[in-house]
């Protein structure tokens, strides 16, 4: 009987230990569920609102600052590109690919005495005819738009002339060279 009583006592102690363990596991499970719920809620919260603590607010502020600086730099770059395009167009030197609009080619027609007042008029004296062009564009589409406007002003024979480094070439050749240079 002693053994049966001892065995009962041992089983009773094991049962108590198992119940305690079960309660601890249940508590731990509820704690884990609570923590998981809080973490999930916080993750959902920071998707729509700035985080409450940690490095997130600082990172968000830095990110917004970087976006502002990027916008300012892009505006500066755009401004510099516009100024550069204007300088290139006004420059008497040709480097690279350009498109001009020829408005006429004449023999025995001299506009030299007006050249100072005609700052944007370019005259090419090569060959028998003096060729008169307006504009100097890096982009063919801009030149096409300008030709259209010139024709609407009454200069019906205007057409696009292409040049590479100041040398007159076919328009298609200049387009291909421009594409090659972009790569």
**Tens digits of residue pLDDT in 93-138:** 667 888 888 888 877 777 767 766 666 777 777 778 888 888 888 8
Q: Where are the beta strands (DSSP E) in 85-176?
A: 97-106, 121-124, 130-137, 159-164, 167-169
CB 57: neighbour CB atoms within 10 A?
Answer: 12
- Selected residue with higher pLDDT from 163 and 89: 163
**pLDDT (0 to 100) of residue 109:** 75
| Strands ordered across the beta sheet of 130-137 | 121-124, 130-137, 97-106, 159-164, 167-169
**pLDDT (0 to 100) of residue 89:** 63
Mean pLDDT of the chain: 84
Q: State how far the Cα of 82 lies from the Cα of 88, in Å rounded to an integer.
A: 10
Multiple choice CATH, 93-182, 1.10.287, 3.30.70, 2.40.33, 1.10.10: 3.30.70
The answer on pLDDT for 1 being more than 60 is no
pLDDT in tens, 32-47: 999 999 999 988 887 8
Closest CA to 107 of 124, 126, 129: 129
> Where do the domains of the chain lie?
2-49, 93-182
pLDDT in tens, 83-105: 877 776 666 666 788 888 888 88
**pLDDT (0 to 100) of residue 119:** 64
What pTM was computed for the model?
Answer: 0.50
- Partner residues linked to 163 by β-bridges: 98, 168
**pLDDT (0 to 100) of residue 171:** 93
Q: State how far the Cα of 123 lies from the Cα of 141, in Å rounded to an integer.
A: 23
CB 48: neighbour CB atoms within 10 A?
Answer: 6
């Amino acid at each position: 009987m002693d053994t049966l009583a001892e065995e009962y006592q041992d089983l009773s102690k094991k049962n108590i230990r198992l119940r305690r363990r079960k309660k601890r596991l249940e508590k731990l499970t509820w704690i884990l569920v609570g923590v998981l719920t809080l973490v999930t809620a916080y993750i959902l919260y920071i998707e729509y609102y700035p985080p409450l603590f940690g490095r997130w607010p600082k990172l968000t502020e830095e990110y917004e600052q970087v976006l502002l600086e990027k916008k300012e730099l892009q505006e500066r770059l755009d401004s510099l590109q516009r100024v550069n395009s204007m300088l290139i167009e006004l420059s008497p030197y040709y480097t690279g690919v350009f498109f001009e609009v020829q408005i006429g080619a004449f023999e025995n027609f001299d506009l030299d005495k007006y050249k100072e007042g005609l700052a944007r008029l370019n005259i090419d004296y090569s060959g028998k005819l003096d060729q008169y062009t307006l504009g100097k564009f890096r982009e063919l589409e801009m030149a096409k738009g300008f030709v259209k406007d010139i024709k609407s002003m009454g200069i019906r024979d205007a057409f696009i002339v292409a040049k590479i480094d100041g040398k007159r070439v076919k328009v298609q050749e200049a387009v291909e060279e421009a594409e090659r240079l972009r790569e």
